[in-house]
Copies of this chain bind each other. A is one copy, B any other.
Amino acid sequence: MDVIERIVLSDVRTIARVLRDIDDEIPSARDILRELYPHTGKAHVIGFTGPPGVGKSALVDQITINYRNAGKTIGILAVDPTSPFTGGAILGDRIRMQRHFLDPGVFIRSLATRGHLGGLSKFTIDMVSVLDASGKDVIIIETVGVGQDEVEIVNNAHTTILVTIPGMGDDIQTIKAGIMEIGDIFVVNKAERLGSYQTVRELNNLIQLGAARRGPDDWEPQVLETVAVKSRGIKELYEVIEKHRSHLLGTHSEKWRQILEKRARIQLMNILKDQALSAIIERIEASGDSVDQMVQKIVDRESDPYTIVQQIIDRQLK
């Protein structure tokens, strides 16, 4: 049986190995991704985003239990841009691992930013493709909600859930800025804390402010309170997520396709940027020129990067 078949049959070891190959930028991973492509596009991709400490991991853990009880398989990618230096795993993840360790219907993987040339989002999208091809019904991407990479990652999800906690003034500001644009569901976790009601009200007010910009067929963002560590409000969250999925797939199924188009476009551009750069650099070095020499010329102010790039493009592109 070849790699592709093993992934499609959801073989855990093969999936783990291919994800590692993607992370390590092993060239053969690209061929695998190409062959896997026809098997992708079916999973419901859910993004959980929010600042550190709001309990995203606990929420994802709880939602996973709900999906498992409904007989669905899950892939989880936890993206941690706060450890860009080592590629180390998230501690919390290891704890979560334990609970689902023996369940073949759950696949969990942590991803740390490692200064990849192509950006974190490219790698995450590739990994989503692998999990998608492996037949996972639901793929959850968990990110700390800051930075452009995370915005791009969130752009890839069908359903985006913004998580906050009571009284997080600044983060409400952050959410405020983005509320119209990316949040489908807002979760106030740790809702047993003081001020939860107020945070919910603020969020609802913000959603109302955006009402004028929504058409009759548009989804109205929902606000929910949860206490993830006590499993409170999780079933309701699960139901709202499913409602959003039905909304995308139901009478408005063009929305599901729009998300797939957006994802395909980002993926195409990311791969093109990456591959074009590699191909151009290869051609530069093959022609006897050297990037190092170009860098020296720039540092010595004999030329500038804009002029050099223009020369490269004139020479290398047809």
Q: Which residues of A contact B (CB under 8 A)?
A: 30-31, 33-34, 37-38, 40-41, 52-53, 81-86, 88, 113, 115-117, 119-120, 144, 146-152, 170, 173-174, 177-178, 181-182, 257, 260-261, 264-265, 267-269, 271-273, 275-277, 279-280, 283, 291, 294-296, 298-299, 301, 304-310, 312-313, 315-318
Contact = CB atoms under 8 A, between A and B. Distances in A.
B309 A272 contact: yes
B306 A151 contact: no
Contact of A178 (B84, B182, B307): B84
A95 to B, nearest CB: 15
Contact of A113 (B41, B148, B267, B298): B148
Given A34-B304, A273-B277, 10 more contacts: A37-B301, A38-B301, A38-B304, A52-B170, A85-B151, A115-B148, A115-B152, A264-B295, A273-B273, A316-B317
A276 B313 contact: yes
A4 to B, nearest CB: 13
Nearest to A267: B305
B83 A317 contact: no
Contact of A280 (B41, B305, B317): B317
Contact of A148 (B119, B173, B265, B309): B119
Instruction: Please classify the interface of chain A as helix (H, G, I), strand (E, B), loop, or mixed, using the class held by over half of its residues.
Output: helix
B147 A182 contact: no
B272 A280 contact: yes
Contact of A147 (B113, B117, B272, B315): B113
Contacts of A144: 146
A305 B151 CA distance: 21
Given A113-B147, A146-B146, A147-B147, A275 B88 contact: no
